[in-house]
């Protein structure tokens, strides 16, 4: 396999959970821009973040600073609301992916019901486009939703791989992969760029990356979780070095 073929699918690294660690303590670290730079050093083609309505991880200030990073393509995930539209139009990330949001969910649970709210979604996408932002829609690999996405006038969809990632039984996994493959073919047939993401890990990513036509994958939780493990030895070492001081006698 050539390098070119290997790089066929681009990787957007979602850094939300770096902010989750910071928000757990209300500290100033870990720094999101540093995380974005490190992800780029590791080969991330662009950075993804989700400014949720409840601000559980990424904060407005993070979004602002990330969108000002020179030379780094930003993909902002957000709910299809007027508040988020206003923020996105001010920050102008290269890409915005509209996702459904429920306050109680641990993470994005399903795709956006584009077919059920076509006029509203079409309007928001039009406003994003008029600001030079490329809108994408996060949808389940369902024929109706893909048709609706094309009707909404977007050029990009992201297929929800959460169901694929959760399945354990190999025949069920195969059925879901076939559904994803058919969705990619349908999307491409309608002239859409087809991306995918959610729940992808080093163990399950290959079958999705191997689907012909998949352009980009957005992956977050598994990468940040793994970063804790591969970085822990160095982090402990740094602390041991910082502790190497003479005892200071108390007056
Ligand atoms: N794509 C979308 C649209 C998402 O909402 C998320 C989660 O924020 C992801 C990809 C990344 O999912 P994960 O963190 O499970 O890799």
pLDDT in tens, 83-114: 999 999 999 999 999 999 976 677 667 899 99
Q: Residue 239 burial (CB < 10 Å; 0-12/13-18/19+)?
A: exposed
Segment 9-26 mean pLDDT = 98
Do the beta carbons of residue 110 and residue 160 sit within 8 Å? yes
Q: Residue 15's closest CA among 54, 66, 80?
A: 66
Average pLDDT over residues 27-53: 98
The reported pLDDT for the residue numbered 37 is 98
Mean pLDDT value across the chain: 95
DSSP H helical ranges for the chain:
3-6, 16-25, 32-41, 60-67, 82-91, 118-130, 143-151, 162-166, 170-189, 205-209, 221-242
- The reported pLDDT for the residue numbered 251 is 83
Ligand 1 pocket member 200 (CB < 6 A): yes
Known catalytic residue: 77? yes
| 107: its two tokens | 């993470």
CB atoms within 10 A of CB 120: 13
- Each residue of 181-212: pLDDT tens digit? 999 999 999 999 999 999 999 999 999 999 99
Q: Is 158 in the pocket of ligand 1 (CB under 6 A)?
A: yes
Tell me the pLDDT tens digit for each residue of 212-239: 999 999 999 999 999 999 999 999 999 9
Over range 40-51, report the average pLDDT. Answer: 98
What is the pTM for the complete model shown?
Answer: 0.95
The confidence score (pLDDT) of residue 108 equals 66
pLDDT surpasses 60 at 6: no
The rounded distance, in Å, linking the Cα atoms of 140 and 143 is 9
Ligand 1, atom 15: closest residue by C-alpha:
199
Higher-pLDDT residue of 109 and 66 is 66
Residue whose CA is at the smallest distance from ligand 1 atom 3: 138
Helices H / strands E in the chain, number of each: 11, 8
Token pair in block for residue 120: 């509203």
Write down the residue that tokens 């389940």 correspond to: 140
């Amino acid at each position: 396999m050539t390098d070119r073929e290997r790089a066929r699918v681009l990787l957007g690294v979602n850094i939300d959970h770096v902010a989750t660690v910071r928000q757990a303590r209300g500290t100033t670290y870990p720094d999101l821009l540093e995380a974005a730079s490190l992800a780029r050093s590791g080969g991330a083609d662009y950075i993804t973040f989700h400014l949720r309505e409840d601000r559980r991880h990424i904060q407005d200030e993070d979004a602002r600073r990330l969108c000002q990073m020179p030379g780094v393509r930003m993909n902002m995930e957000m709910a299809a609301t007027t508040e988020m539209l206003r923020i996105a139009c001010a920050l102008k990330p290269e890409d915005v992916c509209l996702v459904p949001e429920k306050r109680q969910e641990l993470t994005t649970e399903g795709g956006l019901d584009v077919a059920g709210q076509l006029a509203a979604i079409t309007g928001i996408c039009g406003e994003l486009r008029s600001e030079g932002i490329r809108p994408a829609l996060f949808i389940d690999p369902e024929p109706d939703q893909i048709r609706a996405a094309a009707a909404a006038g977007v050029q990009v969809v992201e297929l929800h791989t959460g169901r694929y990632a959760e399945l354990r039984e190999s025949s069920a996994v195969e059925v879901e992969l076939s559904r994803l493959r058919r969705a990619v073919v349908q999307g491409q047939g309608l002239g859409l760029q087809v991306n995918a993401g959610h729940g992808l890990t080093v163990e399950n990513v290959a079958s999705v990356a191997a689907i012909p036509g998949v352009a980009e994958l957005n992956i977050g939780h598994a990468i940040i979780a793994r970063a804790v493990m591969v970085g822990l030895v160095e982090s402990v070492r740094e602390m041991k070095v910082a502790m190497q001081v003479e005892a200071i006698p108390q007056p």
